[in-house]
């Protein structure tokens, strides 16, 4: 949308797309699809030659009239994906093979031990924290989500007054997924982002809980809650 505004003012634009389906739907004036993970639109870090190839391919699209969507040609591309695997993708490939039967709250407590190790190994850096609820209280988040998935009218005292219930649930899901991801990297150094996604959605009780939460959100009469469901599980 911003690109179209710039184009209307006479400024040619080009974007790099990490999710091809989004670019196909939005149809920006010019877009280069790259098959890389979120956070790495130019490909492998510290590979200046390759990054210049990506930028050159993107800028070359400025010579074309839009809308145009081009795929970046990377013959050496291996194992990377443009977007995280979602629950529906895991289900489409056969679903969970060994779904954990551990209570999600207990599972979260156990996982937090590995998450703590990850944080210690990385000087306190973490992507957990959008809810501002400390990980030591994530059991409370789990219980809240379980009650919600069961159809109860629930809330958490930690939810700020200016944050809607749907947005709060989405933030809770983000914090849980971030903690589980960092814990998995501590459990299994070198694990790929794809393997983490398939593990979370395919094997953990917490991943299954988020899917059930999403189902209830989509059945809500509140459009804001329905819209937030997409950010909880897909």
pLDDT digits (tens, 9 = 90+) for 58-85: 999 999 887 899 998 876 654 444 445 5
Q: Identify the pLDDT of residue 76.
A: 65
Q: Identify the pLDDT of residue 165.
A: 95
Residue 109 makes CB contacts below 8 A (sequence gap 6+) with 138, 139
Per-residue pLDDT of the chain (234 residues; tens, 9 = 90+): 788 788 888 889 999 988 877 888 888 899 999 887 767 788 776 678 889 999 999 999 999 887 899 998 876 654 444 445 554 455 555 554 455 578 999 999 999 999 999 999 999 999 999 999 999 999 999 999 999 999 999 999 999 999 999 999 999 999 999 999 999 999 998 888 778 888 998 889 999 999 999 999 999 999 989 989 988 987
End-to-end Cα spacing for the chain: 24
Nearest by Cα to 168 from 105, 103, 229, 112: 229
Q: How far is CA 35 from CA 11, 43, 72, 158, in A?
A: 27, 8, 8, 38
Q: Which residues pair with 68 in a beta bridge?
A: 30
Q: Identify the pLDDT of residue 79.
A: 46
Q: How far is CA 47 from CA 23, 42, 53, 59, 122, in A?
A: 26, 9, 10, 19, 23
Query: Which tokens in the block code for residue 166?
Result: 């749907």
Tell me, what DSSP letter sits at residue 42? T
Phi, psi at 50, each rounded to 5°: -65, -40
Q: Identify the pLDDT of residue 94.
A: 53
DSSP-H helix ranges across the chain = 2-8, 20-26, 48-60, 87-92, 104-121, 138-149, 165-187, 193-203, 205-218, 223-228
Nearest by Cα to 159 from 174, 144, 139: 144
């Amino acid at each position: 949308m911003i690109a179209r505004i710039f184009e209307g003012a006479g400024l040619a634009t080009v974007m790099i797309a990490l999710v091809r389906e989004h670019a196909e739907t939005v149809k920006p004036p010019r877009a280069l699809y790259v098959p890389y993970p979120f956070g790495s639109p130019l490909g492998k870090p510290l590979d200046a030659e390759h990054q210049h190839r990506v930028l050159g391919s993107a800028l070359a699209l400025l010579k074309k009239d839009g809308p145009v969507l081009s795929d970046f040609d990377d013959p050496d591309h291996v194992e990377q994906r443009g977007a995280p695997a979602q629950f529906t993708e895991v289900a489409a490939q056969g679903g969970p093979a060994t779904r954990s039967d551990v209570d999600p709250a207990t599972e979260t407590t156990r996982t937090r031990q590995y998450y703590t190790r990850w944080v210690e190994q990385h000087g306190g850096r973490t992507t957990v924290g959008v809810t501002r609820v400390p990980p030591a209280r994530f059991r409370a988040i789990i219980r809240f989500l379980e009650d919600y998935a069961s159809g109860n009218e629930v809330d958490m005292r930690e939810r700020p007054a200016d944050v809607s219930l749907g947005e709060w649930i989405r933030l809770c899901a983000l914090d849980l997924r971030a903690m589980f991801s960092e814990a998995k990297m501590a459990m299994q150094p070198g694990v790929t982002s794809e393997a983490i996604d398939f593990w979370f959605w395919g094997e953990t009780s917490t991943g299954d809980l988020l899917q059930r939460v999403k189902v209830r959100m989509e059945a809500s009469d509140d459009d804001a809650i329905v819209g937030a469901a997409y950010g909880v599980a897909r």
